Structure 1
Amino acid sequence: SMARITHLYRYPIKGLSAEPLDAVTLSAGEGVPMDRVYALARPETVFDDAHPQPLPKTRFLMLAKDEELARVVSRYDVASGLLTLEHPAGRLIADLGSAQDRAAVEDYFATLLADTLEGDRPRLVTGSDGHRFTDVAVVSTEMMRAVSIINMASVRDLQERLGTHVHHLRFRANIYVDDVDAWSELDWVGREIHLGKVRAEVLVPTARCAATTVNPRTGERDIRIPKELQAHYGHINCGVYVAIRSDGMIRTGDSVTLGDM
């Protein structure tokens, strides 16, 4: 056993909070179910839900630019279609199957980000045919549906070098692993790994952006993560993207082993 899975998360709406999972069923060529299937398009963004095209992350509300999003606790219930949003400024429960409720979600964020949106409303969008609003969606369909992995040992190593706590959710990954050497995940690129009984191919390291500068608990920009990574390690990578190559369920506690390609 090379490592073990310690945390699983999905992020139903791009830029909003993580939802922890105990287990998740993965399918070959697909991302984590309900991960980044919604986004809040900036007022000037043109997006056709029926014919979705990948757009740069800058066309949507995102932590890299809109740090106040970190203070919103969001929960999406797939069975009921209900989205719950909580922020010190107010609470909203909305049925995403209702046009009226989706408009209420848009109004909620227009108010919350009034200073940056200048009173204009963002638009809650979702794409057909398995479209996902991942940061790397513009690279390729495979990257759009890639699953992100972070090594908790790497986060701890960075934390020790900085002398301050670094919350693992800054990195907004789907799968967190532990019990493996810090930064060894960067050597997995081009290799096959087994997540429990699910096969995956490690595609590329994950280059970090300004979203990681935002404290996921306070919404403050308090650590310049990309700059610190460059200063301490000579690169801005933390974590890897993998493509799922077989179907199956993974759970927290499952082993992660290196396979052959």
Structure 2
Amino acid sequence: MNGTARIVGLYRYPMKGMSPEPVEAAELAPRECIAWDRAFAIENGTADFDTDAPKHFPKIKFLMLMKNEQLARLHSRFDERTAEFSISEDGREHVSGNLMTPEGRGRIEAFLAAYMKTDLRGAPRIVHAPGFTLSDAPAKLVSIINLASIEALEAEIGRKVDPLRFRANVYVEGLEPWADHEWVGRHLRLGSARLKGVHLIQRCAATNVDPVTAERDMEIPATLQRRWASMDLGLYAEVREGGTIRPGDRLELA
């Protein structure tokens, strides 16, 4: 590391499979994820997620970009003060509702039942359990993407690759390509927080979906496998010491 690595993007994803939300700053707590990250998800089919005794399920249980690319056409926003969640498309709001009330969830579920009808295996149900994350990873982790690795991928593909395809929490620049893949088991400092690399992130077909057009226009996992003999890109890290992180903060190995 050359000492100039820094955060250039910080995001959360309140509803699994839907829009990223830029965050100006995040307060990280030990063994917790970014607040409201993947706090909600949309069951597609069997309604057996128990909000009183939540457990991790494979992502295929929920609506998500790997199978349901039309979600990328929707723009969602969540107000954590009021729990109001809105969905718009091309600048026009389709629906909004309070995710903490049956009435609010019902309005959003009714919209999704119509909008996603060709992909549904049953009535869509929005689920949430306080303190539980519906991330692809069963643990509460922070995902980090090294933008230099994306640049290496762009050179291989011959096209620009929108970093938001990778739906990370933290985007960093100033590293060598794939440098973060050496950090499993190592400690790093982000802002005033300390994290530990846990495992690499294996990419799935969700990254093939353009986050703006919803078109499946790339073969990113296949390209990674062919060129680098692995479908990994990015790092999951666990918060060990709490602190604040924000764009512009430096990243340093402990």
TM bracket (short chain)? over 0.9
User: What's the CA shift for 1:156?
Assistant: 1.1
Query: Partners of 1:131 and 1:81 in 2: how far apart?
Result: 16
Determine what percentage of the aligned residue pairs are the same residue.
38
1:77 aligned partner, one-letter code = D
Select between 223-232 and 109-118 the one with higher mean Cα deviation. 109-118
8 Å contact kept, 2:96–2:107? no
User: Structure 1: which amino acid aligns with 2:210?
Assistant: N
Amino acid at match of 1:43: G
TM-score scaled by structure 2?
0.96
Q: What is the SS of the residue equivalent to 2:127?
A: strand
User: What residue is the counterpart of 1:114 in the other structure?
Assistant: 117
2:222 pairs with 1:220 = no
User: Is 1:10 matched up with 2:12?
Assistant: yes
Moved more, 95-104 or 84-93: 84-93
Contact in 2 for aligned 1:5/1:251 (Cα 8 Å): yes
Q: Which runs of 5+ in 1 are unaligned?
A: 138-143
The residue type paired with residue 74 of structure 1 is: S
Alpha carbons 2:187, 2:194 under 8 Å: kept: yes
Q: Deviations over 1:102-141 (max 9, x none)?
A: 11111111111111216x421000013x21111122xxxx
Q: Give, in whole Å, the separation in 1 of the partners of 2:127 and 2:108.
A: 11
* Aligned counterparts of 2:221 and 2:190: Cα–Cα separation in 1: 28
Alpha-carbon RMSD: 1.3
Large movers: runs of 4+ above 3 Å: none
Alpha-carbon distance in structure 2 between the residues aligned to 1:90 and 1:112: 13
**Cα deviation per residue 1:40-68 (whole Å; 9 max; x = unaligned)?**
01122411111111111111111001001
2:162 aligned to which of 167, 171, 174: 167
Name which of 161, 173, 176 aligns with 1:178. 173
Aligned length: 251
Task: Please name the residue that 1:104 is paired with.
Answer: 107
Q: Deviations over 1:121-172 (max 9, x none)?
A: 21000013x21111122xxxxxx20110000111111011111111000000
Is 1:25 paired with 2:27? yes
Q: CA deviation at 1:94?
A: 1.1
1:229 correspondence with 2:224: yes
Letter in 1 for 2:102: A
Unaligned stretches of 5+ residues in structure 2: none
Instruction: Compute the TM-score of the two structures, normalised by the length of structure 1.
Output: 0.93
